[in-house]
Amino acid sequence: MNLEEAGGKIFSDAWHRVSGVQVQLRSSVGAHRQRFRDEPWVILRDKFSNDWFRVSPDAYAFLCRLGDGRTVDEAWNESLAADPKRALTQEEVVQLLGQLNLSNLLQYDRGDSAATLFERMTRRKGKETKALLMGFLSIKIPLFDPDRLLGQAMPVIRRIYSPVGLLLYLLLLLAGGKALMEESSRLFDQGSGLLSPSNLGLLYIGFLVAKLLHEFSHAAVCKCFGGEVHRLGVMLLIFAPMPYVDATSAWGFRQRSERILVSLAGVAAELAFASVAALVWANTAPGTLNALAYNVIFVASVSTLLFNMNPLMRFDGYHILVDVLEVPNLFQRSREQLRYLGERFVLRLPHAQPAARTPAESWLLPAYGLLSMVYWILLMLNIMLFIAGEYFELGVALAIMLFFMSLVLPLFKFVQYLATSPQLDHYRSHAVGVSAVIAVVALLVLGGLPVPDRIRVLGVVQAGQSRQLHVESEGFFTELLSPPGTVVQPGQPLLRLSNPDLDMEIRVAQMQLMQLRAQEIQAISGSVSELSALNRQKQAIEETLATLHARKEGLLVVAPAAGIWSASELDASRGQWLGRGASAGTIVNQDVWRFVAVLPQVASHVFEDSIRCTEVRLRGQEGINLLAQDTLVMPFEQGQLPSRALGMAGGGEIAVSNSDANGLTATEPFFRIESVLPVDTLAAARLVHGRVGIMRLTLSSRPLLAQWERKLRQLFQHRFRV
């Protein structure tokens, strides 16, 4: 290999920092092999600190050359001479030694090694302390070593985690799922009070027991496969003490299936606990035990699936994903790959080294890095809003912390990187200049460039002239005489109902009338004094019979006016009972159409602006954009929705009052918006009276930062009334 030609790849500007150092792996570090995607790796483990590190065979071969008085430069030259194609570059050596040094796996062969080790340990403790303070969601405090106790309990543990135990576990899950399905109608009724002050104690107890079983299961399965568990402690989860165990020795298992089973063990234990709680909840009356069981169902099923099994967070789901994809250190390498992309394509640093080793990893790592960061921010926002709904001050504190961690801290680290990173020794001015230009452009685009300000609201299509039809007499819907969607004329039959009880009442009344007439004939020839009473009875029966015949005629629904008959809701009612006053569709005149939308109160800034454009897209026809005209926003609050389909009772998004059986009364007042759909736009869409759609209002242009600030303010006004 020609070193002059390959100098850009082999040599490092930071080589002088490590070339003369005599260093080697600590004597307490052991090594064994492991395979990922059929590629060999070497796992390094410090027996004293239980620290783990994964390196490639080429990196391990270089580490084996260290020691016996050799400097790093001498060991590198030996490896380069022995196998130039597989030898590490200087940049790779610098990075490897830096990472091993931070992991406290190296020792130095020089007089001040003890001082250096103490300095390194102090620096590492400082980093761990900072991590504890910053990782406020999961601060871990170790207490004692449970490995000996687990060893003594192995006979019981092996019986639990056996084929018979697996069968019993599956039966328990089926029983718990069956209990929840049978009581599904009331399953979510108690959810609104989870964070109420009276329920916090039960919620914490359920969480504590569930996490205790979770961590014990991790430790037990790890011990079953020959691992060691030397740390049990308390984790402060949002400042609430929870148990945790350190089962990281499972990372060194050679079999991928064993590592996956250890990761799955905690979630499996929680689901079993949730199944037991479901059986208790379904078979107990309201009370403390019932409420505690409901809390356990929530924390041991919903929360564990959203958090522990989510691969975008570094919990159990993440470790399972790492073993399934066989991409070691996925989280850290995804950040390193994003950093490489920024250095290579934004800062244009020629010596930037990618973290991806394969073409698949070149897109997998940055995709995972971006998704995990976005998910973390969205999750924290939802947690903040959820908590602030019950405890506003705590929610504000979480919001401040989220702002600091997601914006202030990354910005500070980036400035520190530009100022002190040795990778920028010969490119610092260029990197600072590029970063300054990007920052200025971003501020100008976000804070100074006006862009269209748009609002999206929910609404329905309504005919300009329409008449609602109602059933005049109750009965079974048996015959459709005119298909919905067709043009009908006044008096045209639309549908027919039948009512056997009404027919029976008519026959009974007719028989009674015949009997009274026979009695009337007898009274004329006999007792004339009874004639007046019979006449009154006959008159009452005749009036009843006339009413029954009128109800009989009402079973035939006819069109009251000309127009298009819209009655899609009757398709599912054929053969079913329709009560008196039930909807039988609408007769609409298709000459004029309008779109009626609901504008929330928090969007009242529409009154202070001018509407530049109004667009409508209907459900089922999202590809067709209808331009509306003559948009009018009613300047007074309303409470009755224009259609039941907009409320939650009709499948919509707007909350409605439980006391309104029709589902038309909104829980919060709103403003009504009406727009006319011009005739020349109707040819592109098939309009149906009552069809739901989205209206987009385009207001005056303003910078994105101003729009985001207003939306954030409206969110707080809507959720917290501040």
Question: Which CATH number characterizes residue 24's domain?
Answer: 3.90.930.60
Q: Are 266 and 307 in contact (CB under 8 A)?
A: no
**pLDDT of 306 higher than 80:** no
In a shared domain, residues 149 and 123: no
In a shared domain, residues 347 and 304: no
Q: What is the pLDDT of residues 463-477, one digit of tens each?
A: 766 777 878 888 888
Q: What is the pLDDT of residues 668-709, one digit of tens each?
A: 888 889 888 876 665 556 777 778 899 999 999 999 998 888
In a shared domain, residues 606 and 533: no
Q: From 118, 134, 150, give the residue that closes a domain.
A: 134
Model's pTM, two decimal places?
Answer: 0.66
Q: What is the pLDDT of residues 267-290, one digit of tens each?
A: 999 999 999 999 999 888 888 888
Q: Report the distance separating Cα 396 and Cα 379, nearest Å.
A: 15
In a shared domain, residues 219 and 176: yes
User: 315 falls in which pLDDT band (50, 70, 90)?
Assistant: confident
* Secondary structure string (H, E, C) spanning 103-172: CCCEEECCCCHHHHHHHHHHHHHHHHHHHHHHCCCCEEEEEECCHHHHHHCHHHHHHHCCHHHHHHHHHH
In a shared domain, residues 144 and 210: yes
Q: Considering only CA atoms, which of 227, 225, 309 is closest in space to residue 266? A: 309
Q: Report the distance separating Cα 627 and Cα 678, nearest Å.
A: 8
Q: Are 242 and 315 in contact (CB under 8 A)?
A: no
Helix 359-388 × helix 392-403 angle, to 10° = 150
Look at the chain and report how many structural domains it folds into.
5
Q: Which of 44-48, 449-453, 492-496, 538-542 has the lowest mean pLDDT?
A: 44-48
In a shared domain, residues 107 and 229: no
In a shared domain, residues 283 and 343: no
In a shared domain, residues 298 and 344: no
Residue 619 domain-assigned (yes or no): yes
In a shared domain, residues 622 and 559: no
Three-state secondary-structure class, residue 176: helix
Domain residues for the domain of 14 are 7-134
In a shared domain, residues 269 and 407: no
In a shared domain, residues 12 and 51: yes
Q: What is the pLDDT of residues 198-210, one digit of tens each?
A: 777 888 888 888 8
The percent of residues above 90 in pLDDT, for the chain, comes to: 12
User: 126 falls in which pLDDT band (50, 70, 90)?
Assistant: low
- pLDDT, residue 526, reads 63
Q: Report the distance separating Cα 414 and Cα 409, nearest Å.
A: 9
- According to DSSP, residue 304 is labeled I
